[in-house]
């Protein structure tokens, strides 16, 4: 029996061991799903605090139900020791792919994780990259680090690209129910990829190459980024005309065909949407292709925090108050509602700008008790508890994230001035400004 067929059988009878590198918002739910599907899983991460938390049966991501992972033990083992990769049959890489200071792809986490697992691969091993990246990464960056003269891709080991499609805190779509795109470096790699993911998700969508799979994920995120940029720009136009853009979108959304509703906000956040289109523009430039449309969308979305701050200044000025010395309460640090994820959150940019302008800034977020130190931000702030007294003492309250756990009626009753960037409140309120 060939090594490929042996591996397919091990995947089928659940005797294969799955390794997941990167125990964050993508890797951790994947671990949960693999354990639920009957596999033994080893989770790898370089952050000792994550390993300790899991060994102590503590979840560090609010919306992820650890389920059968806890108590950690026979079916799941978190570790920082990459030599334990030798015990696995499948290695799935779920590591960040940020941008550097020049908005160019930073593949250091991908390259670092590949180098960490490469010494421990054995014949028949599967490596799957799930990190969002530009088309060609799997073949041009990952494969050369794994392939040796006596260790050939498609024969001795199998390489797959299958982009993550997590939607944090959305109960309608889970790791199991979201269709999984899979591309392989060879027909044999694709066959193995389909066998693995077919055992943990309801639907596998095979494509002809890893580049196609990479491009599909970039398309998904660029599509959203461009459409959000469109409604963000229309928000500026509507505001200048005295029109409520949220009412406009709700009216347009009644059309049963040819229209998909996107909503404006204070800027794009999360690890994917604000970043991934720039991976595509970088790759396109290397092919001498200009991506003016995508880059313009990125510029619009990036400038939205500036617009929100300008609206706060305008609102305060109309009340005879300068931004310097004004007490501003920001509602929401997370990048979207009902999650604890602050990666690339526009709220953090807005807070920093207000602090630079001399405002006294506090924030409230029921999902983010403390803003952690990040690559771009080190605010060292803790969430305040909202009360009528806290609200009344503010000069301005900014709606930055529309969490369901906020008491919006109470906020409206007691806040002297509200700047709403999410369309929570209807237009016409005496103390309301749209942003």
Residues listed for the chain: 435
Contacts of 298 (CB under 8 A, 6+ apart): 225, 229, 274, 277, 278, 281
Active-site annotation holds for 189 = no
CA nearest neighbour of 381 among 391, 372, 389, 392: 372
Largest distance between two CA atoms of the chain: 81
CA nearest neighbour of 220 among 258, 296, 177, 163: 163
The token pair that represents 111 in the structure block:
């390259």
Q: Does residue 315 contact residue 394 with C-beta atoms inside 8 Å? A: no
Q: Which residues pair with 151 in a beta bridge?
A: 148
From residue 389, give the alpha-carbon distance in Å to each of 323, 385, 410, 413. 21, 10, 11, 11
From residue 133, give the alpha-carbon distance in Å to each of 157, 278, 343. 22, 10, 17
Task: Calculate the CA 350 to chain-centre distance.
Answer: 19
The token pair that represents 45 in the structure block:
């991460």
How far apart (Å, rounded) are the C-alpha atoms in residues 267 and 335? Answer: 9
Q: Does residue 263 contact residue 224 with C-beta atoms inside 8 Å? A: no
Q: Taking each helix axis from N to C terminus, what angle separates 210-241 and 292-318, rounded to the nearest 10 degrees?
A: 30
Q: Which of 272, 287, 394, 396 is catalytic?
A: 272
Phi-psi region of 254 (alpha: psi -120 to 50; beta: other; left: phi over 0): alpha
Angle at 59 between CA 53 and CA 61, to 5 degrees: 120
Strand extents, DSSP E, 8-102: 17-21, 40-44, 76-79, 90-93
How far apart (Å, rounded) are the C-alpha atoms in residues 326 and 354? Answer: 9
Residues labelled catalytic: 272
């Amino acid at each position: 029996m060939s090594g490929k067929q042996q591996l397919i059988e091990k995947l089928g009878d659940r005797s294969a061991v799955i390794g997941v590198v990167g125990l964050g918002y993508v890797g951790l739910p994947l671990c949960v799903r693999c354990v639920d599907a009957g596999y033994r899983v080893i989770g790898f991460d370089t952050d000792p605090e994550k390993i300790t938390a899991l060994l102590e049966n503590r979840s560090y991501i609010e919306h992820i139900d650890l389920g059968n992972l806890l108590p950690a033990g026979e079916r799941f083992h978190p570790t920082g020791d990459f030599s334990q990769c030798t015990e696995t049959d499948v290695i799935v890489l779920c590591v960040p792919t940020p941008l550097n200071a020049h908005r160019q792809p930073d593949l250091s986490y991908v390259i670092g994780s590949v180098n960490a697992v490469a010494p421990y691969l054995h014949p028949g091993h599967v490596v799957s990259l799930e990190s969002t990246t530009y088309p060609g990464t799997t073949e041009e960056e990952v494969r050369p680090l794994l392939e040796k003269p006596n260790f050939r891709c498609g024969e001795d080991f199998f390489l797959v690209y299958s982009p993550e499609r997590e939607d944090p805190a959305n109960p309608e779509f889970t790791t199991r129910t979201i269709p999984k795109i899979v591309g392989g470096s060879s027909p044999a790699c694709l066959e193995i990829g389909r066998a693995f993911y077919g055992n943990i998700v309801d639907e596998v969508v095979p494509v002809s190459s890893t580049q196609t799979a990479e491009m599909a994920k970039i398309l998904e995120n660029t599509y959203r980024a461009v459409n959000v940029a469109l409604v963000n720009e229309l928000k500026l136009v509507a505001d200048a005309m005295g029109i409520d853009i949220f009412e406009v979108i709700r009216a347009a959304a009644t059309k049963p065909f040819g229209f998909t509703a996107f909503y404006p906000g204070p800027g794009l956040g999360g690890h994917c949407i604000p970043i991934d289109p720039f991976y595509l523009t970088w790759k396109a430039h290397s092919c001498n292709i200009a991506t003016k449309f995508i880059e313009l969308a990125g510029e619009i979305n990036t400038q939205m925090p500036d617009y929100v701050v300008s609206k706060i200044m305008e609102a305060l000025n109309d009340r005879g108050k300068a931004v310097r010395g004004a007490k501003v309460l920001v509602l929401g640090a997370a990048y979207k509602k009902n999650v604890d994820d602050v990666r690339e959150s526009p709220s953090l940019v807005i807070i920093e700008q207000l602090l630079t302008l001399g405002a006294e800034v506090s924030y409230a977020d029921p999902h983010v008790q403390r803003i952690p130190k990040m690559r771009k931000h080190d605010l060292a702030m803790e969430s305040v508890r909202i009360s009528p007294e806290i609200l009344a003492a503010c000069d301005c309250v900014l709606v930055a994230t529309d969490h369901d756990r906020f008491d919006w009626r109470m906020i409206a009753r007691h806040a002297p001035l509200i700047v709403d960037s999410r369309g929570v409140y209807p237009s016409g309120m005496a103390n309301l400004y749209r942003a």
